[in-house]
Amino acid sequence: MRKINEIIIHCSATPAGRDVSTRDIRRWHVKGRGWSDIGYHYVIRLDGTVERGRPLERMGAHCVGHNARSIGICYVGGLAADGSPCDTRTAAQRVALRKLVAGLRTAFPGATVHGHNEYAAKACPCFDVRAEFPD
């Protein structure tokens, strides 16, 4: 297994209420970007279902410079109806994200939790990850 020291949270940059699946995002990444697989290890759907993406044993493709030792989680949403960045997480997504992060922190002690926006000039994931998941 890879050494993991970061858990990085993303959003799919889709409008609130528009559900997309791991399969959809995999297609965007493989056919649209030419990648070998989906970039994220997990996707959290609107109803809180956690879907597996890229296997944990494989390096992700979600955060330049941090992929080798991180796990990428993407929640579906992140845009308001007008297309502006917005925390659109449903109550079910919030619960699922908390549970997933807690489980990953247990499996990978010492791993810190970050938002994609800490490493890139993006709004993603459209909420303050460090405030929600302090070390």
CB 56, CB 2: distance < 8 Å: yes
Q: How far is CA 82 from the centre of its chain?
A: 22
pLDDT of residue 135: 81
pLDDT of residue 1: 77
Q: Amino acid identity, residue 115?
A: G
Pick one of 3.40.80.10, 3.10.129.10, 3.40.50.300, 3.40.50.80 as the CATH number of 6-132. Answer: 3.40.80.10
Peptide bond connecting 109 to the previous residue in cis, omega within 30 degrees of 0: no
Q: Which pTM does this prediction carry?
A: 0.97
pLDDT of residue 14: 97
Determine how many CB atoms are found less than 10 A away from the CB of residue 133. Answer: 18
10 is written with which tokens?
A: 């993303």
Catalytic site positions: 10, 40, 116, 122, 124
Per-residue confidence of the chain (135 residues) as pLDDT tens digits?
Answer: 799 999 999 999 999 999 999 999 999 999 999 999 999 999 999 999 999 999 999 999 999 999 999 999 999 999 999 999 999 999 999 999 999 999 999 999 999 999 999 999 999 999 999 999 998
Peptide bond connecting 85 to the previous residue in cis, omega within 30 degrees of 0: no
